[in-house]
Structure 1
Amino acid sequence: MEYALVCPPGEGETLRLDYRAFAYAGKFVVGGPGKAVVRTPDGSPAAPGWEPDEPLPDTVDPEAFDDEVIAAVSFSPDRTDPDCCRLRYVTVHAARRGEGIGPELIGETVADLAVAGFERVKIAVNNPFAYEACHKCGFAYTGERTGIAELELERPAGAPADIDPERYREGLSAFRETDGELSRAERRFVAERLERGPPPVADAANSGGDP
């Protein structure tokens, strides 16, 4: 796998991701945000043996997809704070989830944003799995929400945030407020992490190492 910065914000580059494999695929055809990816180094498909659950419509050309992309992130400057950049959407190919690729991609992207001069990076998450992954990338829950079910996390661009174990648990507990909407796996995940406390920061998120 290799990391690549597709474009900084405002350059208009787009990605064509297969919506059957990637959440938020439609967000990456918008040219304004910056984009970064983890991809196969030789241009081969990200998941050669993967079979989608549904066929493509006749009007969609499968050759148009960027099928070497394993994971992607989009980002843009905060509208009210030019020193802060927001990670907007993070997505990993359905067949490659659970490999730790998302946190590695975020870590590499944050390192690039630090080089670009941003002082802080923020991200909003709406599920406990993403919340945990972002803590592994050096983000910390701010105590703020950007939507009904979105918790805001932040870190300095150049170093991991200082994690307060109680604030970490506070964020996890917030997901329990919508307990009826959590799956059994999510409820079990939250309970285990509440008992354990914050995870260690992954090396890639800390140092910008290779995925």
Structure 2
Amino acid sequence: MEFTLLGWPEDGHRLRLDYKQFAYAGKFVMTSTGKAVIGDDGVVAAAAFDADRTDPDTLCVRYITVRQDRQGDRLGARLLRFVRERATERGFEHVSIGVNNPFSYQAAYRAGFCFSGAESGMAELDLVWPGDRSTERYQAGLDLFRERDLSPDEESFLAAKADADPPTVLNEWAEQPSARTD
């Protein structure tokens, strides 16, 4: 698999994704965000990002999407780490992402992010890098998800994470996915 930074927001790059295979596919057609992808036989995961409107030292990852048939392979976490590393190389001191489900929350933690303690108006938990990766902070975010109407899979996932430590950060963004235990 190849990780590629297609461009930064000022490059005006468009990416067309199949809306049947990718959530948020329409968001990648916009030229106002930078794009990064993982390619295999075509695009299997994509990210869109831009600078925070109020803090030029922070890059905001707006969307991460993984092709339906590749979900569960930890591609979202690997792509998020790849984007984070490119952002720091470009001089960003902080990177943020908002997540709206416990699976995305876990993926962001695997990429080195942590719960900031804040929620946005779109029912998203704000995760940041760098930050507090304590078990208490990790569980505080999971507790907010536990208060929501959840799917059976989400409820089962959260039950399995009760009192758990944060997941280990991926050693390298290009590491191959391993057998999942969570």
TM-score by length of 2: 0.93
Aligned-partner residue type, residue 156 of structure 2: R
User: What is aligned with 2:180?
Assistant: none
What is the Cα deviation at residue 10 of structure 1? 1.8
TM-score by length of 1: 0.80
Measure, in 2, the Cα distance between the counterparts of 1:113 and 1:148. Answer: 24
Aligned-partner residue type, residue 187 of structure 1: E
Q: How does 1:132-211 map to 2 (within 5 A)?
A: 132-156=106-130, 161-178=131-148, 181-204=149-172, 208-209=173-174
| 8 Å contact kept, 1:2–1:210 | no
Partner of 2:117: helix, strand, or coil?
Answer: strand
Partner of 1:71: helix, strand, or coil?
Answer: strand
Larger Rg: 1
Is 2:33 aligned against 1:23? no
Runs of at least 4 residues off by over 3 Å: 208-211
Paired residues in the alignment total 176
What is the Cα deviation at residue 191 of structure 1? 1.4
Unmatched 5+ residue regions in structure 1? Answer: 45-67
Point out which structure has higher relative CO (alpha carbons under 8 A, 6+ apart).
Answer: 1
Which one has the bigger strand percentage?
Answer: 2
Structure 1's 148 and 3: CA in aligned 2 closer, same or farther, altered over 3 A?
closer
Measure, in 2, the Cα distance between the counterparts of 1:194 and 1:154. Answer: 22
What is the Cα deviation at residue 172 of structure 1? 0.3
Deviations along 1:143-200, one digit per CA (max 9) or x if unpaired, are 10112521000003xxxx441111110110001211xx20111011111112322111
How big is the alpha-carbon RMSD for the aligned residues of Structure 1 and Structure 2? 1.2
| 8 Å contact kept, 1:144–1:152 | yes
User: What is aligned with 1:79?
Assistant: 53
